[in-house]
Amino acid sequence: MEIKLDVNAVIEHFGGITPLHEKFVQNGIDISRKAIEKWKERDSIPTTGWLYIVNIADAEGTFDMLKKTAIVKTGSLSKATLKSKKDIHKYSSKELIKFYSEMLRIRRFEEKAGQLYGMGLIGGFCHLYIGQEAIAVGMQAVMKEGDGIITTYRDHGLMLSSGSDPKVIYAELMGRSDGCSKGKGGSMHMFDTEKHFYGGHGIVGAPVPLGTGIAFANKYRGNDNVCMTYFGDGAANQGQVYEAFNMAALWKLPVLYIIENNEYAMGTSVKRSSFTTELYHRGESMGIPGKRVDGMDIFEVINAGREALEYIRSGKGPLILEMKTYRYRGHSMSDPAKYRSKEEVEAMKENRDPIDNLRKLIIEEKHASEEQVKAVEKAIREEMEAAVEFAKNSPEPDAGELWTDITV
């Protein structure tokens, strides 16, 4: 769906053709008066021209007024997406394709996992990351070797973004011996110490004190590593979270707390369960600064993540990023998600999907052709199909494994 404009209203917003052209000149934008006249004549503004107009209006604080008078219909090119068009020029075509492919790998992995669960090949609980991919990939883009990740039971996407082999993850999901936990952990207990991925934890809020402990270890060892400690909006009300915040602030530990606020926790809206819904303020009583981030925009995630890690590595202590995101599926595979409307979910998919929006931008800005993007998509499909076959053919754990890796 494309954005449709009332071109006359756009031009009149700035006082006419001449004043609009003067705005372009003042901002060093090479668009002639004749080009603006052609826009009016054709009743159409090119995407690049509209992006420049949005940036000017945004700088002047008049974007909302412009939007009301000039935008007839908004589809995927929301203001957030238009800002992404500005950010996209900071990255090479190779980097952009990597961002896209890594997010799509998570999406396709999780879709397959959902299918396998429906077929009875995955048992127990299964929490999918579909819709939240920009957070995992965006944060991975600004991490360095040695930085760690610890997260909740919605862990497949973050583990995949860490560089773990999808074959091993699928094998674990299916309870096979080639899985990362030898088939004994399942969906909620993933682990890959080689990739500095420390779980996968089934207890709500548990990653926060554990991640704080990892940060303590890093400080004790004198390295420069930061632990990305993920938890959800539902866990933000847990007492152990604030005990950990206090210790992290007291000792200025190198930990980045990332709240993946997908708005519904286990099935209750954050507006109904939290007195204050601006979760990034939750550390202020301990002196921990926070920031809210658009978690559906990979460029916003990268920008905020980079700034946060610079702050923490400078020795100033912990920081909180509240990533506003949205899960398309239920809390787990057993959740029908009747607490929200289908229209709400579809609107989010249509307008805010991080993968679809990046795909559009890559093609529109000529970083790759439609055919090149389709080739990437085909390769990812084949990779996931091969990983599933590997897991299906992996043997089940030997009965003797019942007594290994446990404390009795």
The one-letter amino acid at 216: F
Which comes out higher in pLDDT, residue 408 or 222? 222
Q: What is the pLDDT of residue 71?
A: 65
What sign does the CA torsion over 192, 255, 213, 200 have?
negative
Q: Please compute the mean of the pLDDT values over residues 336-358 and round it to a whole number.
A: 90
Q: Which of 44-53, 55-64, 204-213 has the highest mean pLDDT?
A: 204-213
Classify strands 4-5 and 71-73 as parallel, antiparallel or unpaired.
antiparallel
Identify the three-state secondary structure at position 2.
coil
Torsion angle of C-alpha atoms 248, 254, 260, 265, degrees rounded to 10: -30
Please check the confidence at residue 314 and state whether its pLDDT lies above 90: yes
What pLDDT band is residue 74 in, cutting at 50, 70 and 90?
Answer: very low
Q: Which of 52-56, 187-191, 270-274 has the lowest mean pLDDT?
A: 52-56
Residue 77: pLDDT band with limits 50, 70, 90: very low
Q: Give helix then strand counts, H and E, for the chain.
A: 17, 7
- CATH number corresponding to 93-393: 3.40.50.970
Mean pLDDT, the chain, as a whole number? 90
Q: What integer is the mean pLDDT of 9-27?
A: 89
Q: How large is the average pLDDT for residues 248-277? A: 93
- Per-residue tokens: 156: 């497949």
Q: What is the pLDDT of residue 114?
A: 94
Query: What ranges do the domains of the chain cover?
Result: 4-74, 93-393
pLDDT of 70 > 80? The answer is no
Q: How confident is the model at residue 381 (pLDDT cuts 50, 70, 90)?
A: very high
* Cβ-based neighbours of 97, under 8 Å, separated by 6 or more: 362, 367, 368, 372, 376
pLDDT digits (tens, 9 = 90+) for 208-249: 999 999 999 999 999 999 999 999 999 999 999 999 999 999
Average pLDDT, stretch 123-152?
96
